[in-house]
Structure 1
Amino acid sequence: MKQAIMSGREIVTLQLGHYANFTGSHWWNLQEASFVYDPKVLQRFPKEISHDVLFREGQTPKRCVTFTPRLVVLDLRGSLSTLRKDGSLYNEEKEEEVKWSGDVTLHKSATEPKNQFLQDLDRVEGTDESKGDVDNIDLESPRENEEDGKDQAEDITEQAVFGSKLYNLDNQVKVWSDFHAVHLHPRSIQLVQDYTLGSEDNPFDVFGLGQQALSGQAWDEWEDRVRFFTEECDNMQGFHVLFDNHNSFGGAASKVLSYLQDEFPGKAVLTFPLTPAVLPDQTARQRATRILNSALCMASCCLDSSVYVPLSLATSLWRNLGAPQNFPHLTYNCDLHYHTSAVLAASLDTMTLPLRKETNPVHLSEVTGAMSALGRKVASLNTSLPFPMMEHETFVDALMSKGEEHLLQPLTPQTYCQADPSVQSCVVRGIPPDRVKRAGKSSPRQLSACSSVDDVLQLYLTETYPSTMNAGCVMRDPSNVVTPFPHIFRPNVTKAGQLSDTLRRPRSGVESVPMMTSLQSGPSVGSHVSSLHDEAARFNIHRHHHFLGAGLEEEEFRENLDRLHSLADCYRVLPDMS
């Protein structure tokens, strides 16, 4: 019996919106890249992540084992490109015979061509559509040659897909499905039928439209999908919810979160509103729409979230999108969702590792309960991608040579890595155990007792954040940033993700990176909330007919502003009365 069934630690993930699905696709790809299939490797390095927390085991009608995310996706028509809405694992049905005595004309739309990565992936898995579907898909068994005489070209293809070939997908990825490498269950994907991705004539850009779109039959279909994944859980922890913060999907998310609160009381909900680093909002109306959507999202979604963590690579979000966040060892294109969402996804993957540990995991409700004390439901996330450690440097050297402001970059706009957060959950991954501290070198007295990465991290948190309630987690394995993760690392980052004075060869990619993340709650987050309230309060909602026409009433708008003001008050530091 699977451990996830025995321990009951399942989490169901919900993704709403195109940018949320970009981020989610990278997240699932990163997790799949960490799967270990070789028993010999597992003997030497026991599994440290329980993938059963977020993935489910199933079978196709032909009794082939599958391993797919517990995931429900919502997006617009035109977002799937070559990806089948019902996936490819369960495609056993043939086209139904048309029983019609009259003439029949078949209209078939042109098939989108797959990029080279997806073509290679199909060949490796034996699902090349030109050859028909294959029924022997087993995602838990080792990827080995089934025949000794397997063609050498197929070996090369397999090596290519799993990391050794460099694919330049920057100009080929238009939608998230162009690089999504993980099989999805047929119940995972739902499309909003009344709206098309990128439509200028009928844009899906106002909060209330999302609430309207997810109603009637569409709501029944969505609810059925969620129940399919939740009802098979033994003792579900709760939900991860990723959604677009700047458009109508925020309205859909507010309805979804209200439903989760009613139907799954007591289950923790960790919510991630996402905004791209660059948006085509050149007009005053578009900027106002983005601000109002963000305000309505935070005011309504915070109510039904356990913790609400806004994420973007833009340094500010309101009147103007701020300059994209600077990462000292990355060269990413802020205009590409494919690039910016990869940074967010790698950070989310690392931040949530304590929930997925094979041994001594943290329960989702423990994290959300600590972070939301005193009504402070909004938290911020900071990341170090990669963790800045030179090739011959130790973990202690790296921590001592850099202050926290240079060690971590904020992913929550209008915040900074706080010097005195109230609560902090810090995760470090991928630091080799032999790189803790320099052998034979005299160390401060406190460090002399440290013999592991975990010892050093706990001491660092205690000394750097003495008044903070700290939680530290160390994981052995780095983040596997192999294909289709974009090539955004500077040439001074080695194949193993460490910094070097020697530049990496032009045709050599980075395969793994050590990382550090910090999820924080404290006064800095209050500036994010209060600045959003102040910006939204400037608007006379009567002048924004597109919001009123989508169902927003003036009294409701005022109530949302009051909620934001009350939320910001929770972060104001009370004077010391002693």
Structure 2
Amino acid sequence: MREIVTLQLGQQSNYVATHFWNTQESYFTYGAGEESPVDHDVHFRPGLGADGTETFMPRTVIYDLKGGFGTLRRLNALYDISEDAAESSLWPGQAVVHRQQPIGASAYQESLDTGQAPPELTTSTARYWSDFNRVFYHPKSIVQLNEYELNSTIMPFEKWHMGEELFANLDKEHDLLDRDLRPFIEEADHMQGIQIISGIDDAWGNFAAQYIERIRDEYGKTAVWVFGVQEPTRGLPREKRVLKLVNKARALAELSSQASLVVPLALPEEPLPSHIQLNPTSPWHVSALFAATIESTTLYTRLKTTDRIYSSNLGHMTDLLNIFGRQTIANIEMSPIEPPNPTQSGTNRPANLTNARGESIPNFDDNVIDNESESGSQKGTAPLEVDLSSPQDLRLDSRLKRSRKRYVFSQIRTYRGPGVESTADNKGDVATCRSGMRRRPKVHNYRSGLSFQILDSYPTIFRSHNRSAIKERMAMRTSLSTDTSVMDKVRGLRTAVIQSIGLEDRETVGNELAEIADGYKEGWTSGSDDDDDD
């Protein structure tokens, strides 16, 4: 097998991961003769419930603060223990139990428990990520950290040092890897990697950095991918925005040297395309867009290997992107595509495949697959519609040339849905290696006919060309790129936050960010634009 173990760190990440797990659960098939294209063993573990019932639950460890789990209990219907805690206590006297007022279950969760048709979720009814959760978790997956409380106004979990202090205190008391992560890793026969979803603009970024450092001590050669999610900052006071930028800069400095790949995700401040309508103040909405992009990009790490041209793994995809060995931060983009009209009679090919603006996408034979561009020629590195890699960071450094083009070192492009994308060659920009050789960046294409399913737990944020809500399935393109815009963003971050970092860490963090930026001009210069930034 090729298992992936997931770590979920913090409220932001748990919103994203809940959408992710709901989608994984939707791939299970139960009818005779049905076969899922997804290898469920990659992300799910078999087990036995308290009553001997066979279970299949996510290979994940979920960390959140007190109050962050909402209505989710550590014990569930499959692992419920009816024995009263007072009866099992070693204390011979009378026990006095103090219970906090429980959070009422959402109508959506109640409908799942009773088997009734669920009501439509809204931004007001999705109060916590557990309100739209559709899967059961093993009790060992649930780790509540009572040292901090969610949304506390007295001691919010937002300053960088808090993450390190919390991890150190917990690790000293329990050894977090042994208690929480190692049981899931030891169950894996041939683990392909660890997937971490974490906030990077608050104290969770430092918690993640400490965790990955311990992982590297134990599992040095294991692929570790970090999806670093960030809250929208529009409308926040200046001091809060600066704090988030400082946390992000420090997180990138720490994580880039430990993780195999770091993928920051942030809602762009620019208006989204008209066919994506979401509420930027709703974590349920914002995380849905992030989750669809992550799930579509990593789909090929869990497809069944019976057809190897479609399947991949975290380590191989890392090698494709990090071609110079110092490019561990990647940009991520996505484009939703409107589902096609019903298939034409007598054929199994989709008719009239269009994007969400109603523009036609050409159909190609289903056997046209380009898993990897062997020659290294560029087959189109043009940006997709939605850049989730913090494009606003390019404005942090006023010295940055607005007209400078990005040069792509390597890119993984994915397409999921009916039909096959155009494979027409797009020459793009040509970069010049210091040895004088001119070459185009490599583009690696992965494709699958498996559409992205829009579940009843997913907000209706996608619109068709006639502005009606899309509620069933979507085709989707995504891309992961290592390119020179990472250098510009890191330099912008360094310029914007360096004076806000304490003197004891300022030089270290500044040097680390400068080294990251240097990694994105390794062996390359632009033939059309000299690099004159310091």
TM-score, length-scaled by structure 1? 0.76
1:472 equivalent among 445, 451, 467: 445
CA contact (8 A) 1:12 1:229 kept: yes
Post-superposition Cα deviations, 1:193-224, rounded to whole Å, max 9, x if no partner, equal 11000111111111111111112445625311
After superposition, the Cα gap between the structure-2 partners of 1:406 and 1:226, relative to the gap in structure 1 and judged at 3 Å, is: closer
Deviation (angstroms), 1:371: 1.3
CA distance in 2, matches of 1:243, 1:310: 10
2:303 equivalent among 357, 365, 376: 357
Query: Of Structure 1 and Structure 2, which has the larger fraction of its residues in helix?
Result: 1
CA distance in 1, matches of 2:90, 2:316: 57
CA distance in 1, matches of 2:157, 2:58: 27
SS at match of 1:484: coil
Structure-1 residue corresponding to 2:434: none
CA distance in 2, matches of 1:279, 1:77: 27
1:565 equivalent among 503, 509, 514: 514
2:138 equivalent among 185, 188, 211: 185
CA distance in 1, matches of 2:66, 2:425: 47
AA matched with 2:443? N
Structure-2 residue corresponding to 1:132: none
Structure-2 residue corresponding to 1:247: 202
Structure-2 residue corresponding to 1:112: 103
1:384 equivalent among 335, 348, 351: 335
SS at match of 2:244: helix
Which range moves more in the overlay, 187-196 or 248-257?
A: 187-196
Structure-1 residue corresponding to 2:247: 293
Deviation (angstroms), 1:565: 0.7
CA contact (8 A) 2:71 2:104 kept: yes
1:229 equivalent among 176, 181, 184: 184
1:537 equivalent among 486, 491, 498: 498
After superposition, the Cα gap between the structure-2 partners of 1:303 and 1:91, relative to the gap in structure 1 and judged at 3 Å, is: same
Which range moves more in the overlay, 245-254 or 212-221?
A: 212-221
Structure-2 residue corresponding to 1:128: none
- Structure 1 segment 151-550 matched on structure 2, within 5 A: 157=116, 160-161=117-118, 167-218=120-171, 220=174, 222-223=176-177, 224-278=179-233, 281-284=236-239, 286-313=240-267, 315=268, 323=269, 325-359=271-305, 360=308, 361-374=311-324, 375-386=326-337, 393-394=352-353, 398-399=360-361, 407-414=384-391, 420-431=407-418, 433=419, 453=420, 456-457=421-422, 459-460=423-424, 467-490=440-463, 493=464, 499=465, 501=466, 504=468, 510-539=471-500, 541-542=502-503
2:64 equivalent among 70, 75, 79: 75
Deviation (angstroms), 1:411: 0.8
CA distance in 2, matches of 1:406, 1:563: 28
After superposition, the Cα gap between the structure-2 partners of 1:388 and 1:524, relative to the gap in structure 1 and judged at 3 Å, is: farther
Deviation (angstroms), 1:541: 2.1
CA distance in 1, matches of 2:154, 2:9: 22
Post-superposition Cα deviations, 1:148-181, rounded to whole Å, max 9, x if no partner, equal xxxxxxxxx2xx24xxxx5133101222112111
CA contact (8 A) 2:412 2:444 kept: yes
CA distance in 1, matches of 2:59, 2:181: 9
Structure-2 residue corresponding to 1:121: 112
* 2:39 is the counterpart of 1:18: no
CA contact (8 A) 2:337 2:354 kept: no
Deviation (angstroms), 1:225: 1.1
Deviation (angstroms), 1:343: 0.3
CA distance in 2, matches of 1:230, 1:252: 20
CA contact (8 A) 2:226 2:261 kept: yes
CA distance in 1, matches of 2:285, 2:336: 13
After superposition, the Cα gap between the structure-2 partners of 1:103 and 1:228, relative to the gap in structure 1 and judged at 3 Å, is: closer
Post-superposition Cα deviations, 1:300-342, rounded to whole Å, max 9, x if no partner, equal 11110111111011x3xxxxxxx25503312100000000000
After superposition, the Cα gap between the structure-2 partners of 1:326 and 1:114, relative to the gap in structure 1 and judged at 3 Å, is: same
Deviation (angstroms), 1:92: 2.9
Post-superposition Cα deviations, 1:479-531, rounded to whole Å, max 9, x if no partner, equal 111110012223xx2xxxxx4x4x64xxx761111111111111122222221
AA matched with 1:384? S
Structure-2 residue corresponding to 1:64: 53
Post-superposition Cα deviations, 1:56-113, rounded to whole Å, max 9, x if no partner, equal 1111132211111110111100011110024442113411315666554332222211
CA distance in 2, matches of 1:394, 1:485: 23
AA matched with 1:567? I
Post-superposition Cα deviations, 1:242-265, rounded to whole Å, max 9, x if no partner, equal 111111111100001111111101
After superposition, the Cα gap between the structure-2 partners of 1:215 and 1:461, relative to the gap in structure 1 and judged at 3 Å, is: farther
SS at match of 1:370: helix
CA contact (8 A) 1:425 1:518 kept: yes
CA contact (8 A) 2:384 2:478 kept: no
Q: Which structure 2 residue ranges, 5 or more long, are not aligned?
A: 343-350, 364-379, 395-404, 431-439, 529-534
Post-superposition Cα deviations, 1:375-403, rounded to whole Å, max 9, x if no partner, equal 111101110123586885247974579x9
Count of residue correspondences: 471
SS at match of 2:274: coil
Query: Of Structure 1 and Structure 2, which has the larger fraction of its residues in strand?
Result: 2
TM-score, length-scaled by structure 2? 0.82
After superposition, the Cα gap between the structure-2 partners of 1:405 and 1:471, relative to the gap in structure 1 and judged at 3 Å, is: closer
CA distance in 2, matches of 1:279, 1:408: 21
Structure 1 vs Structure 2: percent identity of aligned residues?
26
After superposition, the Cα gap between the structure-2 partners of 1:406 and 1:206, relative to the gap in structure 1 and judged at 3 Å, is: closer
Post-superposition Cα deviations, 1:413-437, rounded to whole Å, max 9, x if no partner, equal 1279x87522111111112x4xxxx
Structure-2 residue corresponding to 1:135: none
CA distance in 1, matches of 2:291, 2:501: 36
CA distance in 1, matches of 2:95, 2:211: 41
CA distance in 2, matches of 1:324, 1:576: 30
